Amino acid sequence: MAKKVKLSNESAQKVDEILAFHGYSSVEELIDNLINKEYETIKSDDNKEEQADKLSGLGYIS
Q: How far apart are CA 31 and CA 39, in angstroms?
A: 12
Q: What is the pTM of this model?
A: 0.64
Q: How far apart are CA 41 and CA 36, in angstroms?
A: 9
The pLDDT score that the predictor gives to residue 5 is 87
The pLDDT score that the predictor gives to residue 43 is 80
Q: How many CA atoms lie within 13 A of 22 on its CB side?
A: 15
The pLDDT score that the predictor gives to residue 35 is 94
Q: Is 5 left (phi over 0), alpha (psi -120 to 50) or beta?
A: beta
pLDDT digit string (tens) for the chain, length 62 residues: 678 889 999 999 999 999 999 999 999 999 999 999 989 887 876 667 777 777 787 777 66
